[in-house]
Every structure is written in structure tokens, then in C-alpha cells.
């Protein structure tokens, strides 16, 4: 992407560069989806590389107060004047968390009305108000606090108001107007509290009008994704292929024209995974630990998986796993189209763990009734079961219609479980198609989004599995892939450098 011209500048950035990630979630404090995992691993890796990286998220009622002891950093933040907030509903505090080394790694925006009274992170009628509060809250905090970031990374539509506010409302503020902002797109589909494909002309947010007051109902119509793209100094997606795909009508989610206008500011950086957390040699949540040097131990996990799901216990049986949100984006309509035929014609077992659309849940429950010794499912949130599926399965299905990055395919390969994926987004960037007899490839891929192409990929995997020597070679090549965050973090540093250079900060 970009290259440092001299080691001196690299050392300067490492010792001075301050980065603040603004997001609605971050593990281990709160994690709903992949974003939460990224907001833990990426800042952590940047700190390990010597940079001062911190996160800023809301303080939710679900935070484990005993495990995560917070200290007051700043109180009485008022994102709107008193006369427009007579009941003080918006008044917020900022708390900080220090890790075991005494480093401040996270800040929390504390507000009773909009965060602590809510049982969930997402899904409220006033979500836009909650996220504008997060965006104004972080900027008001930075104004008052001595630690000031050089770069703010605003994640997804919920933080898309940060670049907007920074470049419009706060453009003349000397404490803020030198800060650069990168807008990070994890999923372009989610843009605000509305279906952007069917928004009326009256409700359309072009992103140019000022952000209304908090209690003005017009605030609910704002498109945080559009505003983030419009006003950020740079934009990144979570894979190179996805950054190219979203320039098209097919993947652009009605923002393709705007993205094409800003394409010179756009890049893609593939997510990584935490290889310490996802390590079959040390994972305490799986029945048997193993590595590429003792793959026979992986079979013990298969037997445990089969027992858990009530499947016929046979270590030689081809087991396919699914670890996914059950919806159309993840390709579940393709799975539904072919699964009955697959079960009738190919000898394999299926284990699924996932939540989502009840239509798909009922489909798999019916399959379980028809094939009780071959199909098993768990349709509630479970933090441990995905690890059993990744350790005990031979392959995983990920036929996504689109996939900004995806983490399951990387986690699966780490555990020697072969991904069967559609070649899109991060799946295309992380899974190399396997061809028998060649010493390369880490999975089975298909291009066209249809059931026939998907079926062929599964058949190819099934036939390869029958050749034990070829399959073991494939498994070892998959396990040898490096998906650690270090490479991705270094690419983010290059991106930050290029943004600072554009303002002359590098000199």
C-alpha cells in the first residue's frame, strides 16, 4: 500500500502516534459481532507494536463491573446546551479502563438514559440519537482532556457522525481541527435506522445539511454511513476485494456513486484474527488439543462433536460445520436450496450453530427430524460451541452473497477445518482454491452466486476428503496460513502515515 521512506520517520511515529478507535462495541467489554472482536485485537496489536492505541465506546449496563474496574476521567460533558436539554438527559461522563500494565486502553461514555437503561447494544427507535451522542461525546471529551489523538478511526455508521462533526461543527476549534479521521467500513449495508433502498425523496439524507438537535425528529433520518464517507480524510474497508466491490451497483448499497467520487481516499485492509485466542494447541474450550504435527488428535474433537449433536459417532465420517448468523447475506438461501439433495446423494454429517431468521431455523429443525443421526443444530447464542464445531468438523460452509471480511474462514483454517466459500470480499482475499496435485490452496471456492456452483464446490471437497493423503496435505497448508493481526496492523500504520503526510505532519 504505502512504504516508509526512512526509518527515522517510522521511529517518530511509533513513539508519538496516538490513535483512538470510536465504535459501538469492543471486546472484552461488549461484543455482539465481528466488529467487537476487531476492536479488541487491532488496538491490542498496535500497542504491541509500540503505538498508543485506545478505544472509545459507550458504557452499557451489561459491563462486568467487578472484572473491569473503571475510573472517572471527565464528568459533566454536555453535548447540547442546557436550554435544549432541560432534563439533562444528554449529560455524560467519561470513564477509563487501565490494563494490568497500568496503560489506559479504553474510554467509556457513561449516560444513563441512552446506554445504561438499554438491555441491548443495537435495535432501538432512537439509535441515531444514541450514536450522535457517542460522536459528540468523544469530541467534547477530547476538547477537555490533555491526551489528544492524532488519528480517530470511526467505525461504521454508528461513528460516521465523527468525521461530519469534526469537519463541519468543530472545523474552527483549534483543539480538534488538526485531528485526522479515518472512516472504517465493516459492512456497507447498515447505514442508519431505515432501509436505504426504499427511502423517500423527502427523507433522503444527502449528508450536506447540518446534524439536527438531539430532540429534533429529523435526526432519526440521518445516514451515518454516507456522512462518514463524505467527510473522512481516508476510508478503509476490511478487505481489499470488498473495497473494489463496493464501487459497483451490485455491492454499493446505493452509495457506489459517492464511493467512486472518493475512490482515491479508499483502500482495503484484510482483518486478522487473534492467533493466541484461536489456537488448537492451547485452546482450553475444546476436548483435545492438536497441531498440524499430530492431526490424529483432531479426530477426538470430531467424536465429541458427534456425541454433542446426537450424530452417529464415526471419526471417518465427513463432517461439515456451519458457524454463522442465519440470514440471506450469509448465503442461507443457497444452503436451503441444495441441502436436501446433498443429504440424499452425499454421505456426510452436518452440524450448525447460529442465530437469526426463524425461517432458516425451522428448515434445519425439520432436517434434524428427517436425518436425526446426520444433522444437528444449536440455535441460541453460545460462546464455546463454535470452537467445538471448528475443531471437530472437516469443512465449514460460507456461501456468502457478500462478505466484507469474514473471520470464521480464518479461524477454521487455523483449526485445520477447510472452508467452502463463495469468492467474494474477504473470502476471496483469504481462501485460495485447492486443485488436486498442486502444492497450494487452502479451501474450495466458487464464483457465481447460484446453487449449482455451490454444489460443485461441496462435491469437490467431499471427493478430496476420500483421498486421505491429499486431504491431510490440504489441511496442513490451511493451518500454515498466517492470519495474525501483525500484518494488518502494519498496513493500518501505513494508512495513518499517508493521512498525516497529506497534511504535512510528517515533515
Cell numbers given for 159: 461513528
How many beta carbons lie within 10 A of that of residue 117, not counting itself? 10
Residues 215 and 111 in one domain: yes
Query: If you ran DSSP here, which 8-state letter would residue 210 be given?
Result: P
Determine the pLDDT at residue 3.
47
The answer to whether residue 40 sits within a structural domain is yes
> Which range marks the domain in which residue 375 is found?
295-482
Determine the pLDDT at residue 504.
57
The answer to whether residue 159 sits within a structural domain is yes
Cell numbers given for 442: 487452502
Residues 6+ apart with CB under 8 A from 454: 331, 334, 338, 399, 422, 446
Query: If you ran DSSP here, which 8-state letter would residue 116 be given?
Result: I
Residues 317 and 442 in one domain: yes
The answer to whether residue 434 sits within a structural domain is yes
Cell numbers given for 50: 509500540
27 CB-side CA count, 13 A: 15
Residues 334 and 223 in one domain: no
Of the candidates 469, 468, 423, the one whose C-alpha atom is nearest the C-alpha of residue 443 is 423
Determine the pLDDT at residue 133.
98
pTM of the predicted model, to two decimals? 0.92
Q: Tell me, what CATH number does 324's domain have?
A: 3.40.50.2000
Q: How many helices (H) and strands (E) does the chain have?
A: 16, 15
Q: How many domains does the chain have?
A: 2
The answer to whether residue 120 sits within a structural domain is yes
Residues 308 and 192 in one domain: no
At which residue does the C-alpha cell 431455523 appear?
Answer: 361
Residues 74 and 121 in one domain: yes
| Contact between residue 404 and residue 428 where contact means Cβ atoms under 8 Å apart | no
Determine the pLDDT at residue 47.
96
Dist. CA 433–CA 426, nearest whole Å: 14
The answer to whether residue 284 sits within a structural domain is no
Residues 226 and 367 in one domain: no
pLDDT in tens, the chain (507 residues): 444 445 555 555 555 799 999 999 999 999 988 899 999 999 999 999 999 999 999 999 999 999 999 999 999 999 987 778 888 999 999 999 999 888 899 999 999 999 999 989 999 999 999 999 999 999 999 999 999 999 999 999 999 999 999 999 999 999 999 999 999 999 999 999 777 776 777 778 888 889 999 999 999 999 999 999 999 999 999 999 999 999 999 999 999 999 999 999 999 999 999 999 999 999 999 999 999 999 999 999 999 999 999 999 999 999 999 999 999 999 999 999 999 999 999 999 999 999 999 999 999 999 999 999 999 999 998 889 999 999 999 999 999 999 999 999 999 999 999 999 999 999 999 999 998 878 899 999 999 999 999 999 999 999 999 999 999 999 999 999 999 999 999 999 999 999 998 765 554
Residues 351 and 452 in one domain: yes
Determine the pLDDT at residue 507.
42
Residues 247 and 329 in one domain: no
The answer to whether residue 196 sits within a structural domain is yes
For residue 360, the SS3 value is: helix
The answer to whether residue 290 sits within a structural domain is no
Angle in degrees, 0-180, between the axes of helices 332-345 and 358-370, rounded to the nearest 10: 10
Alpha-carbon torsion, ordered 179, 184, 188, 189, to 10 deg: -90
Residues 6+ apart with CB under 8 A from 257: none
- Category of 154 on φ-ψ map: left (φ > 0), alpha (ψ -120 to 50) or beta: beta
At which residue does the C-alpha cell 452425499 appear?
Answer: 346
Residues 264 and 320 in one domain: no
Dist. CA 38–CA 380, nearest whole Å: 23
Residues 454 and 491 in one domain: no
How many beta carbons lie within 10 A of that of residue 116, not counting itself? 14
The answer to whether residue 117 sits within a structural domain is yes
CA–CA distance from 317 to each of 290, 294, 343 (Å)? 19, 19, 13
Residues 258 and 362 in one domain: no
Residues 145 and 38 in one domain: yes
DSSP characters over 345-382? HS-EEEEEE--B-HHHHHHHHHHHHHSTTTEEEE-S--
Determine the pLDDT at residue 87.
87
Amino acid at each position: 500500500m504505502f512504504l516508509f521512506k526512512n526509518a527515522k520517520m517510522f521511529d517518530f511515529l511509533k513513539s508519538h502516534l496516538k490513535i483512538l478507535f470510536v465504535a459501538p462495541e469492543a471486546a472484552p467489554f461488549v461484543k455482539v459481532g465481528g466488529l467487537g472482536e476487531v476492536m479488541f485485537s487491532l488496538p491490542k496489536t498496535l500497542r504491541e507494536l509500540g503505538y498508543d492505541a485506545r478505544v472509545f465506546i459507550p458504557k452499557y449496563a451489561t459491563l462486568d463491573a467487578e472484572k473491569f474496574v473503571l475510573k472517572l476521567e471527565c464528568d459533566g460533558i454536555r453535548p447540547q446546551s442546557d436550554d435544549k436539554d432541560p432534563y439533562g438527559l444528554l449529560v455524560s461522563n467519561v470513564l477509563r479502563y487501565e490494563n494490568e500494565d497500568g496503560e489506559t486502553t479504553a474510554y467509556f461514555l457513561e449516560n444513563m438514559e441512552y446506554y445504561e437503561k438499554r438491555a441491548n447494544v443495537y435495535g432501538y427507535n432512537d439509535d441515531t440519537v444514541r450514536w450522535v451522542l457517542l460522536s459528540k461525546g468523544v469530541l467534547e471529551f477530547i476538547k477537555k482532556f490533555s491526551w489528544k489523538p492524532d488519528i480517530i478511526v470511526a467505525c461504521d455508521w454508528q461513528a460516521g457522525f465523527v468525521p461530519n462533526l469534526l469537519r463541519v461543527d468543530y472545523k474552527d476549534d483549534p483543539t480538534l481541527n488538526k485531528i485526522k479521521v479515518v472512516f472504517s467500513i465493516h459492512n456497507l449495508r447498515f447505514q442508519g435506522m431505515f432501509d436505504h433502498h426504499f427511502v423517500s425523496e423527502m427523507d433522503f439524507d444527502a449528508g450536506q445539511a447540518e446534524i439536527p438537535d438531539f430532540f429534533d425528529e429529523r435526526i432519526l433520518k440521518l445516514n451515518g454511513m454516507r456522512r462518514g464517507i463524505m467527510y473522512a480524510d481516508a476510508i478503509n474497508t476490511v478487505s481489499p476485494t470488498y473495497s473494489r466491490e463496493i464501487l459497483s451497483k451490485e455491492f454499493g448499497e446505493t452509495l457506489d456513486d459517492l464511493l467512486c467520487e472518493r475512490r482515491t481516499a479508499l483502500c482495503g485492509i484484510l482483518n486478522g484474527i487473534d492467533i493466541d485466542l484461536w489456537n488448537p494447541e492451547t485452546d482450553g474450550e475444546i476436548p483435545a488439543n492438536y497441531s498440524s504435527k499430530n492431526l490424529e488428535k483432531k479426530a477426538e474433537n470430531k467424536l465429541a462433536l458427534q456425541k454433542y449433536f446426537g450424530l452417529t459417532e464415526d471419526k471417518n465420517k465427513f463432517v461439515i460445520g456451519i458457524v454463522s448468523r442465519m440470514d440471506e447475506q450469509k448465503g442461507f438461501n443457497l444452503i436451503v436450496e441444495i441441502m436436501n439433495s446433498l443429504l440424499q446423494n452425499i454421505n456426510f454429517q452436518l452440524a450448525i450453530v447460529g442465530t437469526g431468521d426463524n425461517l432458516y431455523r425451522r428448515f434445519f429443525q425439520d432436517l434434524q427430524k428427517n436425518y436425526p443421526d446426520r444433522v444437528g443444530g444449536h440455535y441460541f447464542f453460545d460462546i464455546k460451541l463454535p470452537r467445538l464445531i471448528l475443531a471437530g468438523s472437516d469443512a465449514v460452509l460460507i456461501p456468502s452473497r457478500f462478505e466484507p471480511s469474514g473471520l470464521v474462514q480464518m479461524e477454521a483454517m487455523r483449526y485445520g477445518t477447510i472452508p467452502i466459500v463463495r469468492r467474494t470480499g474477504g473470502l476471496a482475499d483469504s481462501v485460495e482454491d485447492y486443485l488436486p496435485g498442486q502444492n497450494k490452496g487452502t479451501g474450495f471456492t466458487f464464483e457465481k452466486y447460484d446453487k449449482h456452483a455451490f454444489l460443485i464446490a461441496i462435491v469437490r471437497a467431499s471427493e478430496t476428503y476420500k483421498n486421505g493423503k491429499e486431504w491431510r496435505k490440504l489441511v496442513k497448508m490451511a493451518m500454515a496460513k498466517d492470519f495474525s493481526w501483525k500484518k494488518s496492523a502494519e498496513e493500518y500504520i501505513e494508512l495513518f502515515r499517508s493521512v498525516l503526510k497529506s497534511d504535512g505532519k510528517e515533515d
